Structure 1
Amino acid sequence: MASTHPEHLSGSTADYSVAVPKSMFPGLFVLGMVSWTLVEYLIHRFLFHMKPPSDSHYLIMLHFVMHGQHHKAPFDGSRLVFPPVPASLVIAFFYVFLRLILPEAVAGIVFAGGLLGYVFYDMTHYYLHFGSPHKGSYLYNMKAHHVKHHFEYQKSGFGISTKLWDYFFHTLIPEESHPKMQ
């Protein structure tokens, strides 16, 4: 007679598990955070800054609601953070995607890092619009970068929390040349 204990059931998750050393978890967590910065860049560049077809009133309206209104009124505090319901749907999509392609423990820790990256992104974006970072600080530099994106270079400077992907994909906002002092 076959055992009915979970460890003996055919097709249990134990049959498909992968041992992951605990020492890998910090690296996987950081991988999730860095992966988020790439997702942030790609969404901002290719979704939020897409050019909808001129004959599609629906896509034009959707694009305006998703990001155009934010560029039209960048200091409207209600347009800086993604609304919770759509954000939850996007987050759920990424969780399911990771669970489909990675073992459970790996997917969970990468997802947790990505989720923290998303929270940092939302907080950073809000601060870049309303905060007063100290001159010379990382956030001061990112605020100047983001202001230039909004008001002068809307086809470059898509990174919000980092310029890493702008460097990588050659979409960095040009540096201003400073005249030499004599």
Structure 2
Amino acid sequence: MLYLSWSYYRTLAQGNVRLFASFTTEYSVVVPEFVFPGLFLLGMLLWSLIEYLIHRFLFHMKPPSNSYYLILLHFVMHGQHHKAPFDGSRLVFPPVPASLVIAFFYGLLQFILPEAVGGTLFAGGLLGYVIYDMIHYYLHFGSPHKGSYLYSMKTHHVKHHFAHQKSGFGISTKLWDYFFHTLIPEEPHPKTE
């Protein structure tokens, strides 16, 4: 991720990266180097959206009851994680399938955008993925301080695992749960006198 960031920043700094050049030369736009941080952060934001969508629509899909292979695939991909959420060997996506998914997104970005623009988005998304993996592991095995962001996310994730499996799909952020109205409902707190 650091190498890609450095490499694509240097490419942008040369001043010859143009957006839309593959469609039209008349209306293509030069991409200046100062947009690098924004593209990088956009990549992180896009990862958080992909994280949400994968978790909600792939990991929590309802396979047809007559499809043994889809049920098995679903169980291996995510069902086992919900069955045994404190099994440390089931928290991180295995490297080989993860590499294939990552390669797909890299290729897609390189196909639709100039190399330095797509690569910068990819580097930000890659950092987002690493942060997501670290947060997910910590939410299961860490002890965040009460009142902290990670404490709030751990509470959110525990509720997703044990009480609200049809909501609360964000792992590293609740942003997309707010946006798509899948936030776990707040439980009323009893008044203490």
Give the greater-gyration-radius structure (CA).
Answer: 1
RMSD of aligned residue pairs (Cα, Å) = 1.6
User: Once the two structures are aligned, what percentage of the paired residues are identical?
Assistant: 81
Question: In structure 2, what is the equivalent of residue 158 of structure 1?
Answer: 169
SS in 1 for 2:50: helix
Does 2:120 match 1:109?
Answer: yes
Runs of 4+ in 1 over 3 A off after TM superposition: 13-19
Residues 25-54 of structure 1: CA deviation (Å, up to 9, x unaligned): 000000000000000000000000000001
Counting only pairs closer than 5 Å after superposition, residues 14-93 of structure 1 correspond to structure 2 as 19-93=30-104
TM (norm. structure 2) is: 0.85
Q: Tell me, what secondary structure is at the counterpart of 1:53?
A: coil
- The gaps in structure 1 that reach 5 residues or longer are 1-12
In the other structure, the counterpart of 1:139 is 150
Q: Name the counterpart of 1:3.
A: none
Residue of structure 2 in register with 1:128 after alignment: 139
* Alpha-carbon distance in 2 for matches of 1:102, 1:118: 21
Question: How many residues end up aligned between the 2 structures?
Answer: 170
Shift of 1:180: 2.6
Superposition deviation, residue 18 in structure 1: 6.2
Write the deviation string for residues 65-107 of structure 1: whole angstroms up to 9, x where unpaired.
0000000000000000000000000000000111111111100
User: 1:101 and 1:173 mapped to 2: Cα distance?
Assistant: 36
Which secondary structure state, in structure 1, belongs to the residue aligned with residue 30 of structure 2? coil
2:106 aligns with one of 73, 95, 98: 95
Structure 2, unaligned runs of 5 or more: 1-16, 23-27
CA contact (8 A) 1:18 1:103 kept: no
CA contact 1:133–1:140 (8 Å) conserved in 2: yes
Aligned AA for 2:181? Answer: H
More divergent stretch after superposition (127-136 vs 17-26): 17-26
CA distance, structure 2, for counterparts of residue 179 and residue 78 of structure 1:
38
